[in-house]
Amino acid sequence: MQQVVDFILELDKLKGVTRKTKPLGLERYENSAEHSWQLAMLASALVRFAEQPIDLDRVISMLLVHDVGEIDTGDTMVFVEGGWEERKAAELLAVQRIFGMLPDPQGARLLSLWQEFESGETAEARFAHAVDRAMPVLINLASGGQSWRENGISHERVLRRVAPPIREGCPALWTYLEARLDDAKRQGWFGVTSAAGS
Amino acid sequence: MQQVVDFILELDKLKGVTRKTKPLGLERYENSAEHSWQLAMLASALVRFAEQPIDLDRVISMLLVHDVGEIDTGDTMVFVEGGWEERKAAELLAVQRIFGMLPDPQGARLLSLWQEFESGETAEARFAHAVDRAMPVLINLASGGQSWRENGISHERVLRRVAPPIREGCPALWTYLEARLDDAKRQGWFGVTSAAGS
């Protein structure tokens, strides 16, 4: 039992990993724990639009664990260009450490879910990726582009990063977002693209 | 698709519903969205200790939705004595409004999960209740009783509120917690009980 307790207190640290988006109406930045909760809820709401029939429960469990490695590495904005492989290697070490705090089969199950998400090969993982990429876009569309403007993210850069995974995992969601993003561009909700790698 | 988007942006408000416990090492109070995420993770870690075999996926989905009504009602500490039925009625109206934003079957599924949790009759709901009651206790045991001391909650009052549901849904966890709570009492981590109803 002490292993379970040590594990859940270690996970408490994800509440302190901050992202670039702010919850609507709040001044603080969102953290990766509440973000993970919201992704699970978005998957539940969106399941009828998945590109093919999927096991929603596995999608939810993947989304709940997919950011746990950030406890050691911190959050990295999806628009950062360089060093992706190094960060993913560091995240793998982190989740091996953290899920390894639990005895098997519970620890192995969580690591397997994390790896399924990262590999992106199953229909469930592709849907989960679509959900993960779409959520900050939806928040930005509701906030007038708060994190795009603060971080100098252009319309073109958003499209390049989010269109392929969303189109692949949830085509109907991409059809919806493409039109909304065009409208956001007309409204001036994007930043000016800064130098590559920033 | 617009219904899904309106729904998930409505859920964003749960990030702004604050509870009485603070994440370990942070100065702010925890919110009900990140709390819901942590409960789902605790259920995953603890499942081998459930009182009887359970469907973990349903437990997780219940825990993710069980606090959504607080978007309209706010969080109520479990130690508040009076007005429980009125608050539960208000929460029911809230979740009917919020889950009703989604078309069925997704909206009906979420409402059904919320009702299963509230009824507390299935083995899954009982395990979910044990998890929900245990998490703030575990945080208090790691913080020297932060929310117990701030709110004048005595050792006796904690036992009265959390022992029955935890013992029923996860007996091994109660065995563990009972000893830890006795030790916390010796350490002076509880508040002085204030007037009933406060």
Could you list the pLDDT tens digit for every one of the 198 residues in chain B? Answer: 999 999 999 999 999 999 999 999 999 999 999 999 999 999 999 999 998 999 999 999 999 999 999 999 988 776 676 788 888 899 999 999 999 999 999 999 999 999 999 999 999 999 999 999 999 999 999 999 999 999 999 999 999 999 999 999 999 999 999 999 999 999 999 997 554 433
pLDDT digits (tens, 9 = 90+) for A54-79: 999 999 999 999 999 999 998 877 66
Contact call for A45 and B172, based on CB within 8 A: no
Count of CB pairs separated by less than 8 Å, A with B: 135
Q: Kindly give, in sequence order, each residue whose CB lies less than 8 Å from that of residue A86, ignoring residues fewer than 6 positions away.
A: none
What number of residues does chain B have? 198
Residue A1 structure tokens: 């039992």
The CA-atom distances, in angstroms, between A56 and each of A40, A44, A49, A121, A136 are 9, 7, 12, 16, 21
Of B31, B60, B172, the CB nearest to A1: B172
Residue of B10, B17, B37 best to disrupt the A interface, most CBs of A under 10 A: B37
Residue of A4, A10, A63, A66 best to disrupt the B interface, most CBs of B under 10 A: A4
Cα distance from A17 to chain B (closest Cα, Å)? 11
Which residues of chain A does B172 touch, with a Cβ-Cβ cutoff of 8 Å?
1
Asked if this assembly's ipTM is beyond 0.85, the reply is yes
Query: Which helix (H) or strand (E) element contains residue A195?
Result: none
Cα(A26)–Cα(A107) distance, rounded to whole angstroms? Answer: 35
Cα(B11)–Cα(B38) distance, rounded to whole angstroms? Answer: 17
Contact call for A106 and B48, based on CB within 8 A: yes
Contact call for A24 and B12, based on CB within 8 A: yes
The CA-atom distances, in angstroms, between B8 and each of A138, A184, B74 are 9, 19, 18
Contact call for B176 and A5, based on CB within 8 A: yes
Cα(B74)–Cα(B77) distance, rounded to whole angstroms? Answer: 10
Angle between helices B2-11 and A32-46 (to 10 degrees): 150
Backbone angles phi and psi of B31, in degrees to 5? -110, 165
How many Cβ atoms from other residues are within 10 Å of residue A52's Cβ? Answer: 9
Q: Report residues of chain A scoring pLDDT below 70.
A: 78-79, 193-198
Closest CA to A76 of A96, A60, A91, A95: A91
Q: What pLDDT was estimated at residue B192?
A: 79
**Contact present, A35 and A67 (Cβ < 8 Å):** yes
Cα(A37)–Cα(B39) distance, rounded to whole angstroms? Answer: 10
Contact call for B61 and A49, based on CB within 8 A: no
Q: What pLDDT was estimated at residue A196?
A: 44
Cα distance from B44 to chain A (closest Cα, Å)? 7
- Provide the whole-model pTM: 0.94
Closest CA to A91 of A125, A128, A58, A66: A66
Contact call for A38 and B42, based on CB within 8 A: no
The CA-atom distances, in angstroms, between B137 and each of A9, A13, B149, B155 are 11, 17, 13, 11
Beta-sheet strands, E only, within A49-151: none
Q: What pLDDT was estimated at residue B41?
A: 98
